Structure 1
């Protein structure tokens, strides 16, 4: 599914703004058959949970409804007219006037409908979108819903971030010609200094395909004909971490020498490879520095916001980081595009988080589980496998052409202690590799599954580990934590010899809380704990990266273990630096400068 764009043959219309809004209720039996009742409005994009001074809306479990009118531009007569939602968390149902046109499961990936036959150029139509936030045993991520004695529904889930819901990303109306480019896949390789760009174009309809590759100066550097082929770029400018260079691949569908359709794809020429215990980009060892992040902003929740996008990337650059993981779901496409343009490296993760009943809201009895873990089914059955494969398939289809994406992560902290998980993840990894064989694959290992216990690490190309020595385990005792951490990392290295990345490590920290002692929750403890981890990392030969948990404080479900959210951020939720930000900046800029001077 190609992202809408404006070209010589295509147009698009953004439908963001203020929409009418209503909760599912007996007063709203079929909201798509007329105007929504009541006078509530909600912005798109945004989560709806924190917008209103009404706990019934914040705590609502089930469907909500968005509605607006839209007009098809009169110049679109004779074109195919499509409606695209960049996401609907977690399930969407779309109606044009009284007609159902689309439905989709999975809250962080786009879906669309061809509505040509139910709208007319120049005329208005009523657009209604239902969004369902319920998580069940067969959804990704999973959860449970119970009905209380008073009839209210109550949602629970295992992942440690708030279940924000709504239309979190943009809604688009766009046009394409009847014969049009349906999909483009780009794979890049190197032969010495020559860049090789393999392309494959899928068409709807019958036309000839012509392609041209244009550099940043606007010069055409290679051309080709046919739906597939290879373009050669002499002395290619490489896309590199911190030094992005993007070519533009112009794809044209031509019939009788007339242009029928045009689409453009940004191309970063680079290679990615795992070799021994090293992660290589363009044949050179790469060391990840950065964060696990969240799409999380006060008031608008997981709603995409361009101002925060730019500011967050500025902070990433200021602190000297070169990467992040899209924990624990695919981020907005605008984020991926921005990373492409600015040379930030991404570990791209599915929304398969919470596949572990031993963790509830991020809290677990780690100490009692470190001896080997317990058995469990964790829903690793047919229904979960079907949903999980859908998430993998749709993520790769959306993000396959982004040069910033150097690795796929298929799950975060699943219960890989369970015997059943071995066959399950063998199947998931094998399926993923049929979709893209050009990038390494990983999943993120939970602390209760050390190397002698984990059933799934054998299938990963890179070991991604979440560890909390000094916090959930050996909390307040950094000397013991340092010994425990190093002993485990050396065990991983000895058993697998693969590159290792610490994808989560950190301590909850209240901004402004200080102590002269190693007191948990203080800014000093957070700094000292991370510096302890760094000493250990520097002693492990197979170590290939460090991504602190988390970039910024974020909202979680309410409870006694989380007071106004997770406080492990290097920055506060409103992006003010804690003391550890300056410590990280000193380390990461030195790593960056040493690489630049090498």
Structure 2
């Protein structure tokens, strides 16, 4: 890599969008750092190892092995013939590599940190110089819709107010640019940085989930960063395709199942008003099942060598990193700190309580939740009382009473009534779905056919509509995706409304009709695309 000549005297940074799950970084023959945990950005200062105008060799060694100190956890077993085999309990493929951008950046000796908020109709932007070196700072706030400068200020730290602030609105967006200019002693610009932000409120009121004091109903999907040929690698073209399909089908939200998405995708959600449930990579914390469908065997969940203190420490670190990255994003309205953990074991209480407290310490402005697995109903789950919302993954009619939609409807309705009575909190159905082979049809509602998938969705829709506490439905999944092999997964998980190459199944047409009419009638739906 070549370092630009103009960077002399500045800090030179290597920044990685992600490396899954472990990386060791070398500049020429010198190791500059290591990172553990995929899906989040990390960086190393290489100023002392490179020179402006010079070149260097960048080498990154990526390791795909998972153990119980990782989030998500896994285990490498040695087979009798000496071969090693990676095992894990999550139901998506363990892609490894550099899936997001690698950047060589320059950074002045001074930089700033920014936070935002609002009260009434007045927005606030607070900034502080992050380095001790003195020097002037100039601040401008620009309305991205009009291009107008709506506030100016200066100094090493302070707060500026935005009168008659435009709130970020689901389905619409509504962003500002914060333009930060670092000046030298003669007021000449040293560096300028632009960061978008939005202003909005989130609050729980009984069974209602309020955004800007308006009831919000989550419509959309659990999704995966997974595409044919590129796997988990980020592609702007694929991102545009997916967000356009979300708009077409009438979705207003998504969950980043089961890990943080790329910064580019999150920026897109901010711009287009797509509401996000932001999830850590904490999936597979359940030795009672494997991939959500089978007993994994081999002991208890919360024991040494499985989910233990080392796992918890890594989990806490993932929460800190996620909140630090996304806490100023208006699209993010809810933190999901785990997907389908074992929450019926007494060990779950001591494991999760400090993690919930940590999340609230890192960000007291948003609700905190976790996604409850179907084997932990309201009368067995031991941790739901720690959280602000109830998020449920339920597969009545698929993993339970498969093919019997009448019985499934009765059981699902009864369980939701139990959650309502015990917790008095909003309920978001974060997963419900049935594996479906595209093009397979039958005159009967036969599982795996497109006909059954539609009938299954119709049954679930009826249950949701009859339950006052349900404030969202996010079908599993947006599109078919790759998993590890197994008799229950033929060429991956096929619960998508779209195929893996984004062709709509019959379910997509059903959801489009339901969701667009729901939004138009009840929630003032508007197109996600920029105007």
| Deviation for aligned residue 1:227 | 4.7
Give the equivalent residue in structure 2 for 1:102.
33
| Deviation for aligned residue 1:385 | 1.2
| Deviation for aligned residue 1:506 | 0.3
Asked if 2 retains the 8 angstrom alpha-carbon contact of 1:292 and 1:503, the reply is yes
Inter-partner Cα distance in structure 2 for 1:121 and 1:254 = 22
Cα distance per residue 1:165-194 (max 9 Å; x no partner) = 10000100011122233x32x232241xx2
Inter-partner Cα distance in structure 2 for 1:208 and 1:152 = 61
Q: 1:357 to 1:365 in 2, by over 3 A?
A: closer
Give the equivalent residue in structure 2 for 1:19.
none
Give the equivalent residue in structure 1 for 2:409.
482
Q: 1:385 to 1:271 in 2, by over 3 A?
A: same
Question: Which one of 133, 137, 146 corresponds to residue 209 of structure 1?
Answer: 137
Cα distance per residue 1:517-564 (max 9 Å; x no partner) = 121001011111111111111111111100000000000001111000
Inter-partner Cα distance in structure 2 for 1:292 and 1:385 = 25
Question: Which one of 230, 252, 269 corresponds to residue 339 of structure 1?
Answer: 269
- Matches for 1:140-159 after TM superposition, within 5 Å: 140-159=71-90
Inter-partner Cα distance in structure 2 for 1:208 and 1:275 = 44
Question: Which one of 353, 362, 365 corresponds to residue 292 of structure 2?
Answer: 362
Give the equivalent residue in structure 2 for 1:426.
353
| Deviation for aligned residue 1:136 | 0.5
Give the equivalent residue in structure 2 for 1:128.
59
| Deviation for aligned residue 1:150 | 3.0
| Deviation for aligned residue 1:260 | 3.2
1:511 aligned to 2:441? no
1:553 aligned to 2:483? no
Asked if 1 retains the 8 angstrom alpha-carbon contact of 2:288 and 2:300, the reply is no
Q: 1:313 to 1:319 in 2, by over 3 A?
A: same
- Matches for 1:263-274 after TM superposition, within 5 Å: 263-274=193-204
Secondary structure in 2 matching 1:125: coil
Name the stretch that deviates more: 315-324 or 102-111: 102-111
Asked if 1 retains the 8 angstrom alpha-carbon contact of 2:396 and 2:409, the reply is yes
Inter-partner Cα distance in structure 2 for 1:597 and 1:210 = 38
- Matches for 1:159-558 after TM superposition, within 5 Å: 159-181=90-112, 183-184=113-114, 186-191=115-120, 194-204=121-131, 205-216=133-144, 217-256=146-185, 257-364=187-294, 376-377=301-302, 379-558=306-485
Secondary structure in 1 matching 2:238: helix
Asked if 2 retains the 8 angstrom alpha-carbon contact of 1:179 and 1:260, the reply is no
Inter-partner Cα distance in structure 1 for 2:486 and 2:423 = 38
Asked if 2 retains the 8 angstrom alpha-carbon contact of 1:179 and 1:261, the reply is no
TM-score, normalising length: structure 2: 0.95
Give the equivalent residue in structure 2 for 1:27.
none
- Matches for 1:46-61 after TM superposition, within 5 Å: none
Inter-partner Cα distance in structure 2 for 1:202 and 1:352 = 33
Paired residues in the alignment total: 519
Asked if 1 retains the 8 angstrom alpha-carbon contact of 2:367 and 2:389, the reply is yes
Give the equivalent residue in structure 2 for 1:571.
498
Gap runs ≥5 in structure 1? 1-69
| Deviation for aligned residue 1:597 | 8.1
Secondary structure in 2 matching 1:124: coil
| Deviation for aligned residue 1:73 | 1.2
Name the stretch that deviates more: 290-299 or 147-156: 147-156
Q: 1:515 to 1:84 in 2, by over 3 A?
A: same
Name the stretch that deviates more: 296-305 or 245-254: 245-254
Gap runs ≥5 in structure 2? 527-531
Asked if 2 retains the 8 angstrom alpha-carbon contact of 1:190 and 1:271, the reply is no
Cα distance per residue 1:319-363 (max 9 Å; x no partner) = 000000000000110000011111101000000000001221332
| Deviation for aligned residue 1:365 | 6.0
| Deviation for aligned residue 1:80 | 1.1
Inter-partner Cα distance in structure 1 for 2:157 and 2:400 = 53
TM-score, normalising length: structure 1: 0.84
Asked if 1 retains the 8 angstrom alpha-carbon contact of 2:227 and 2:500, the reply is yes
Inter-partner Cα distance in structure 1 for 2:519 and 2:129 = 40
| Deviation for aligned residue 1:400 | 1.4
Inter-partner Cα distance in structure 1 for 2:261 and 2:285 = 20
Give the equivalent residue in structure 2 for 1:11.
none
Asked if 2 retains the 8 angstrom alpha-carbon contact of 1:466 and 1:502, the reply is yes
Name the stretch that deviates more: 145-154 or 157-166: 145-154
